Amino acid sequence: MEIHRLKPMKEGYSEVLFNKIYSETHNLRKSLARSIDHKKYGVSPDIVLSWFDDKFIFVFNKHFSDKNPDVLKGFIINSLKTFKYRVLRKAYTRESEFIASTVKLEGETNLINIIPDEPIPTENIFLDYATKFMKDNLTDDAHLIFELQLNPPPFILNRLVKSTAKINNELLLEFLGITDTTKTNRYITTLKKQITEQTKIAREYFINNPLAIT
């Protein structure tokens, strides 16, 4: 993932905050990069690691001005993990040199971080389009909660009785590093309601517009 795809850092960002979160997520980025077989992409391990560095920089630059530091860190962590799953989903189904040239940063194309591929099962296509629909129609905070519910990180999964159990507000707040108060709990509930409403709208949209996923 070439560095020239990144935009210049916006004015007013905190170098101290950047370096702090960058340092705190160093081991995570290395772990995520190691879980990807670089040979499938025809690149070296350090190139794969650079993809996650680029992702970190992109998300930090986009959101440092609209999220408090604790929420920003949680948002970055989830973005990195989600990025890994999206890369791995296509890792073994295309020629390596083609994939290596098409990994995208969030925001570069209309299909965020989707690696073009040969035909895949309809349910996967629908998931990609439905996920994009939710991203386009949810606020950033609601989309973060949506992603955590869709792809729970190990921190959350390890605290659930079973993987299909509902993720309560307290657990989400703990993961995000936000103090559990009546106000923050209500806010998470509000975000969940927004997700439920948009899910209903998305379902109706795709039922009435089946060509949208072809």
Q: What is the pLDDT of residues 159-188, one digit of tens each?
A: 887 766 789 999 999 888 888 899 999 999
The CA distance from 31 to 29, in Å, is 5
Asked whether the CA dihedral 115, 121, 125, 127 is positive or negative, the reply is negative
pLDDT of 210: 56
187 domain residue, yes or no: yes
Residues 62 and 104 in one domain: yes
pLDDT of 17: 92
Phi and psi at residue 116, in whole multiples of 5°? -55, 145
The CA distance from 149 to 206, in Å, is 21
- Say if CB 146 and CB 134 are below 8 A apart: yes
Domain membership of residue 133 as a residue range: 119-214
Query: CA separation (Å) from 57 to 83, 105, 112, 114?
Result: 13, 10, 16, 19
Using one digit for the tens of pLDDT, what is the confidence trace for 66-86? 888 878 888 888 888 888 876
Over residues 44-48, the mean pLDDT reads 87
Q: Which of 71, 98, 116 is where one domain is finished?
A: 116
8 domain residue, yes or no: no
4 domain residue, yes or no: no
Residue 50 or residue 110, greater confidence = 50
What is the C-alpha end-to-end distance of the chain, expressed in Å?
28
**Residue 2 above 60 pLDDT?**
no
Q: Which of 76, 94, 116 is where one domain is finished?
A: 116
Residues 112 and 43 in one domain: yes
Residue whose token pair is 């989309």: 143
- Say if CB 60 and CB 69 are below 8 A apart: no
pLDDT of 189: 93
pLDDT-above-90 percentage for the chain: 17
Residues 143 and 167 in one domain: yes
Over residues 100-116, the mean pLDDT reads 40
Residue 155 or residue 130, greater confidence = 155
Q: Give the count of domains, the chain.
A: 2
Residue 183 or residue 1, greater confidence = 183
18 domain residue, yes or no: yes
Q: Which of 90, 116, 142 is where one domain is finished?
A: 116
DSSP 121-143: -HHHHHHHHHHHHHHHHS-HHHH
- Rounded to the nearest integer, the mean pLDDT of the chain is 75
Closest-CA residue to 197 (of 133, 153, 152, 148)? 133
**Residue 97 above 60 pLDDT?**
no
Over residues 44-52, the mean pLDDT reads 88
pLDDT of 25: 92
Kindly give the residue spans of alpha helices, DSSP state H, lying in the chain: 15-24, 26-34, 45-63, 69-90, 96-100, 122-137, 140-150, 154-157, 169-176, 182-208
174 domain residue, yes or no: yes
Lowest mean pLDDT among 39-48, 91-100, 198-207: 91-100
Extract the tokens encoding 185: 């709990």
pLDDT of 140: 85
19 domain residue, yes or no: yes
Q: Is the pTM value of this prediction over 0.75?
A: no
